[in-house]
A and B are shown apart, each in its own frame.
Chain A
Amino acid sequence: MRVLAAVSGGVDSAVALARAVDAGHDVTAVHLALARNPASTRTGARGCCTLEDARDARRAADVVGVPFYVWDLAERFHADVIDDFVAEYAAGRTPNPCLRCNEKIKFAAVLDRAVALGFDAVVTGHHARLSGGVLRRSVDAAKDQSYVLAVLSADQLAHAMFPLGDSTKDAVRAEAAARGLAVADKPDSHDICFIADGDTRGFLRRALGDRPGAVVDAETGDVVGRHEGAYGFTVGQRRGLGLSRPGGDPRYVLSIEPVGGTVTVGPGSMLDVGLVTGSRPVWTSGSAPGPAFDCLAQLRAHSAPVPASVTVGSAGHGTVGVRLAEPVRGIATGQAVVLYDGDTVLGSATITATAGVETAGAGIPAR
């Protein structure tokens, strides 16, 4: 096959590239330029968007012996990922930009362009297994990235290759070293790639400005603090609330009301969620396993999945209701709920509403 390998300059994509060549494919490497001004984004070895990363990616392609090009997707990335990230926070939700980047950039803008140019698939260094259209967790549970890939449709997955899913991260690093890839020891990237200093709240303040509001206690109704912008909070957050409640129980963010800017806090017990509603479900196989089914649900990028019963909305699209067998604390809207059968991804949806344990027994809420 003619395949396009997206190389970030990190160790994973470099090894994925090499494995695609070993598998006999006709491989071309591309580095995605996502920052409008690469020289001004963060330096150091943590990102995927600096000039140093571009050089590392080019060097990996040279070592493997395949053509290398840079594709400038900065405008698309800004519109589809960064602007979306800011808008989601402004609406009181907590987005996952990596997931959005996979959905809109790597397996949409890049894939569409690649197919038009005559390529059959896009190869990335994600840690997940993909075979016959079935997406599964990586064998390395700690590095598994199936959560951020679960947003891909059956058609997108049909044009994707993840050569690293059967390997642990340690094995990937060792292989990189054995292949003479200089990025073998490069640290993993953890932070959001377009927030150079890791200060998400500061980034959002620059984008959205000050939007002061009140922090209200859910139990007493009292105003217990003020804030400069509700976008600085995430449901489940405990630290940095700046409350004037000496001696009280710990308080957590329960909900964010973006229009009035009210942040509601309360005891941890009120964070327990028993029912999640998701919109825009994407089914890995192309259709839902059934109108109602039992599975595992994962509600954050790095959290343990919990048993759940799923009800699919009318006509198989629109919404899903996910009733959790055990309460999960601090679920933020905007995140994805990813449904698994064992380690196989069934599909995903964007969380639009949550309900407490008490109401969960009553079935799917109206919204």
Chain B
Amino acid sequence: MHYLDHAATTPMLPEAVDAVAAALRETGNPSSLHAAGRRARRVVEESRERLAAAVGAKPYEVVFTGGGTEADNLAVKGIFWARRDADPRRRLVLAGAVEHHAVVDSVQWLQRHEGAEVRWLPVDAYGRVRPETLAAALADAEGTAALVSVMWANNEVGTVQPIAELAAIAAGHRVPFHTDAVQAVGALPVDFGRSGADALTLTGHKLGGPVGAGALVLGRDVACAPLLHGGGQEREVRSGTLNTAAIAGLAVATEAAVAARSVTAARVSGLRDELVAGVLARVPDAVLSGDPADRLPGNAHFAFPGCEGDSLLMLLDARGVQCSTGSACSAGVAQPSHVLTAMGVEPSLARGSLRFSLGHSSTGADVDALLAALPGAVERSRRAVLASASSR
């Protein structure tokens, strides 16, 4: 089996598995005052410090969550609520047009249920929000903006956003800036303090940690209302008994991924470049999506003209090559990708898209297997498209 879907989830690092397993064997609620509780608390707080150090944050800024989706929901809704409560005129949310659904759907929910105004920030053909776009939008919205949310790097097409520039523009307007860095941490240099962002989402299972553990790195002075009410465990912003074992695994994995980042990224991007060159050599009319250079090291996203992404995926799966169409699914039905649509990709081309994503365990054999299976799959998929067109 050849796994080319690391952007969906990547294998856990052995040291993270060990950290989770060790913590699972211990009893103790980190909020308890007795010895067992203190022991668990120590694991959580050491993890907080290690995670903070790995991403250039202060320990107090790390709010542990149940994953990236929760962290995105907390940032978008929580900061919106806090800003609106402080000043009822601040109801405008500005978000990139290619955000992950965890942000897109949170913003749309605020629009439908909380009276939010929304401005989607358009992107260029690579999927990038240009700084001047944000600057103009904020200049337009003086006194009404609640927050800005732009992802660090796109999960589908891999394009890296100019986060420091965007965050500086938002700061100039005194508007909190959130960035979903789920795909970026461990793959790109991510330093929360230097980025100028006010809130940053990360998650464990994209960097070698467990599923179900993530964090919102939230600046000390950023007001944020809670989504989950209860014991107030995390800075009164997030309630719920802390998941000590998952948090331990998250911290160990983040630390290891960040420490190995420059070496891993160089190796993975080398493989990715071979993959891109190999695909273009075998399927000359394939179109590489996203920024050809400034992209996630493991990401290669293509549109294959005349093909359907889901049949390509099925044919490659049958050959032991696992990848993704990169778009959201509802009951497994592929919807047109809002990312590609925002980039101006024709719907017929967008339908023939596949994402190959490499990671820390990828090898040259994975790339070779894809390149061996791809031409036949493309040919068959094209035949299927023609067959359904002619049987009309």
Contact = CB atoms under 8 A, between A and B. Distances in A.
- The size class of the interface chain B forms with chain A is 20 to 34
A117 B388 contact: no
Contacts of A116: 380, 383-384, 386-388
Contacts of A76: 388
A140 interface: no
Interface in B351-392: 380-381, 383-384, 386-388, 390-391
B388 A113 contact: yes
Interface string B312-355: 01110110000000000111111000000000000000000000
A224 B383 CA distance: 58
Given A108-B391, A109-B391, A116-B386, A54 B331 contact: yes
Interface in B256-314: 310-311, 313-314
Contact of A113 (B333, B334, B387): B387
Interface of A is mostly: helix
A67 interface: yes
Nearest to A38: B331
A69 B334 CA distance: 11
Nearest to A55: B331
Nearest to A37: B330
A323 B315 CA distance: 51
A39 B388 CA distance: 26
A113 B384 contact: yes
Nearest to A114: B384
Contacts of B388: 76, 109, 112-113, 116
Contacts of B313: 69
A33 interface: yes
A54 B332 contact: yes
Interface string A337-363: 000000000000000000000000000
Interface in A68-120: 68-72, 76, 108-109, 112-113, 115-118
Interface string B135-155: 000000000000000000000
A84 to B, nearest CB: 13
Contact of B332 (A28, A58, A109): A58
Contact of B314 (A28, A54, A72, A115): A28
B387 A115 contact: yes
A72 B333 contact: yes
Interface string B237-259: 00000000000000000000000
A51 interface: yes
B391 A38 contact: no
Contacts of A69: 310, 313-314, 332
A132 B332 CA distance: 35
Nearest to A74: B333
A38 B329 CA distance: 12
Interface in B33-59: none
Contacts of A67: 314, 317-318
A28 B310 CA distance: 14
A72 B383 CA distance: 17
Given A31-B331, A38-B331, A51-B330, 7 more contacts: A33-B332, A69-B313, A69-B332, A70-B331, A76-B388, A113-B387, A117-B380
Interface of B: 310-311, 313-315, 317-318, 329-334, 380-381, 383-384, 386-388, 390-391
24 contacts: A31-B332, A33-B332, A38-B331, A51-B330, A54-B331, A54-B332, A58-B332, A69-B332, A70-B329, A71-B310, A76-B388, A109-B388, A112-B390, A113-B311, A113-B384, A113-B387, A116-B383, A116-B384, A116-B387, A117-B311, A117-B314, A117-B381, A117-B383, A118-B315
Which 8 interchain pairs have the tightest Cβ spacing?
A: A70-B332, A116-B384, A54-B331, A116-B387, A116-B383, A112-B387, A112-B391, A72-B333
